[in-house]
Structure 1
Amino acid sequence: MARYSRSASKEVESAMERRKKGTLKSGPGGKGGTVKSRKQAIAIGLSEARAKGKKVPAKKKTAARKKITAKRKTGPKRKAAAKRKKKV
């Protein structure tokens, strides 16, 4: 089964064409600078397809997961250290 719909690939294709013309802008509402990177143009095309409800896999949440795992690793140690200080 296909991961991306044909209409989603058309969105990416149009974003790539806008990048070549120099009209593709980054940032919310296109208020940022012009996009020059291929990867950034593809990401913008995919996010536009997602917003329109096309069949595109969900974004990876790597940064959020890293924060959660970091909190899990540091959390219990700090609590244990705080309890030791209170007892003494």
Structure 2
Amino acid sequence: MSEDEHRWSAEVTEHSDAMDIEHGTFSHDDPHEIALALKHAAESSERRKSDPFRSAMSMLNFYINRAGKNLSRAEHEKLERTKPELRKVFGRPPE
């Protein structure tokens, strides 16, 4: 990731209406634990514009997209498995 890309991500994370998440949220081994942490962050955050589910899913997708090539295959797969878990913890039907 170039220095400009890194600064852009940090700027978006710090100053956007993106919700605040606990450091290390995406490093949990279990997709269900990541989903629970995102749910908690979305429900308690005052820095979001949309409903908690959409905010949590957006943050997950933002992280996957920004980490991109720096994620190992296993990490990427774990985060992709988090998406249906997030739907479950929010009581949403599967896609």
TM-score range, shorter chain: under 0.3
Structure with higher Rg: it is 1
TM-score normalized with structure 2 length: 0.26
